[in-house]
Amino acid sequence: MASHLRGQRAVENDIGLALMALNLTKFGQSISRLATNFINNLKSGLRFLNRSKIIVRILLLENQELIVNSQPQRLSNRAIGRQLGVNHQTINNELNRGTVRQLRRQKSNGKIFEYSYYIYSYEAGQATYLEHHRHSGRRRLYYSSKQFLRLADQLMLGEFDDHHYSPQAVIYKARDLMNDGTLIPKSVVTLYQWINEGVLRTSNLDLFEKPKRKHHRTHPQAKRCLGPNIAQRPQTADQRSEIGHWELDTVQGQKNGNDSVVLVMTDRLSRVNITSKIAGKTAHAVNQFFINLRQKMGTDAYYRIFKTITSDNGSEFSELTQVHDHVFYADPYSPWERGSNEINNRFLRKEITKGEAINNYSSAQIIATNDWMNHYPRAMFNGHSSMDIYRKAFYQEIS
């Protein structure tokens, strides 16, 4: 039924051309052949519609005087419908859309008399059709979602709490902040469409995580092997079946040797993040962090929370096996083996701009950013945060 209606609308959209051709006076045998061909084209599915429009324009331009000075042979709606192969009501609808009022003035004895009459205009019918089509269908949700649009812009542009949220996180956040859930799009695809259509102040350039091109490059196999390979890691760590298996990396600011770095640890199951500002990108600074952490927690609690650690082959992790019993190293040039850690590093880069000195950020700022990341609503957890998942798994483990 729906396809039939769409087909009927397509015919109505261009039926005006046929009406003009049928209501033209007899221009001669060649003109009649053009009109007949035009009708046949409409019957065969409007395959030559553009060509038919050109034909009608030529008829009007070349024979304007003949049209004005002659009386067209008016056919009934049913007769036109039979020739075009459509219902007579379709013809009636098109005539109603394209009928316009014309005004003729006549001066007599110093007075001006006005006479009105009605004619059919294809241009007017087409304009009316397009205007009706623009207002057809269900009313777009964003017309009644002004509150959500304001909130979405504030979240994505960093005007809400100085943090930038992704479109998916905006929907999760809006469900917590807004009372009327019917004003919130059900799918993040809808929100992306609104951004592309310019409905919001936010543009694609404002989005931090827009789909990026991935350039796959081949690298020569590195000769250095700092310790146990990731292939030797316990199966529970590979399967993400329990908390306590961490991925490790550092985030640099300025690479001048004098700047601090941020040590980043990510739990493989919950994606909970631990960040700390350390003195530099050295093995001593990294080891000192773990030594201090173990002294504060106690050895038993330390190894219960940090069961395994997986890092890359950076020089700052070269002596990590001296302070932790279960350290594993990813393959060289294989960041996807620590994918959760890499994604959280990109989160961190939203606040710590690449190339800016880490010394410009206080430890309190870095901790606050880390806390925001841990409570950020994630699509992979159906809107729950990493801290929600970690807390639930921790309680299950100790119970």
Q: 306-319: per-residue pLDDT in tens?
A: 999 999 999 999 99
pLDDT at 189 over 80: yes
Specify the higher pLDDT residue, 209 or 9: 209
pLDDT at 29 over 50: no
Alpha-carbon separation of residue 69 from 18, 27, 64, 117, 121 (angstroms): 21, 12, 9, 17, 18
Cβ atoms of 264 and 251 closer than 8 Å: yes
Cα separation, 210 vs 202, in Å, equals 13
Total-model pTM = 0.62
Cross-strand partners of 113: 106
Handedness of CA 281, 287, 290, 293 (dihedral sign): negative
- The CA angle 90-91-96, to the nearest 5 degrees, is 100
pLDDT at 44 over 70: no
Specify the higher pLDDT residue, 170 or 24: 170
Categorise residue 287: left if φ over 0, alpha if ψ from -120 to 50, beta otherwise.
Answer: alpha
- What pLDDT, in 10s, does the model give residues 122-168? 788 788 888 888 777 777 788 888 999 999 999 999 899 888 899 99
What the block records as the tokens of 322 is: 């001296």
**Which of 113-117, 178-182, 372-376 is most confident?**
372-376
10 Å Cβ neighbour count for 130? 10
Predicted local distance difference test score (pLDDT) of residue 45: 41
Three-state DSSP class for residue 177: helix
Predicted local distance difference test score (pLDDT) of residue 110: 83
What the block records as the tokens of 60 is: 């009007």
What the block records as the tokens of 240 is: 């993400």
Cα separation, 340 vs 377, in Å, equals 15
Cα separation, 115 vs 93, in Å, equals 26
- What pLDDT, in 10s, does the model give residues 218-273? 555 555 668 899 999 999 999 999 999 999 999 998 888 889 999 999 999 999 99
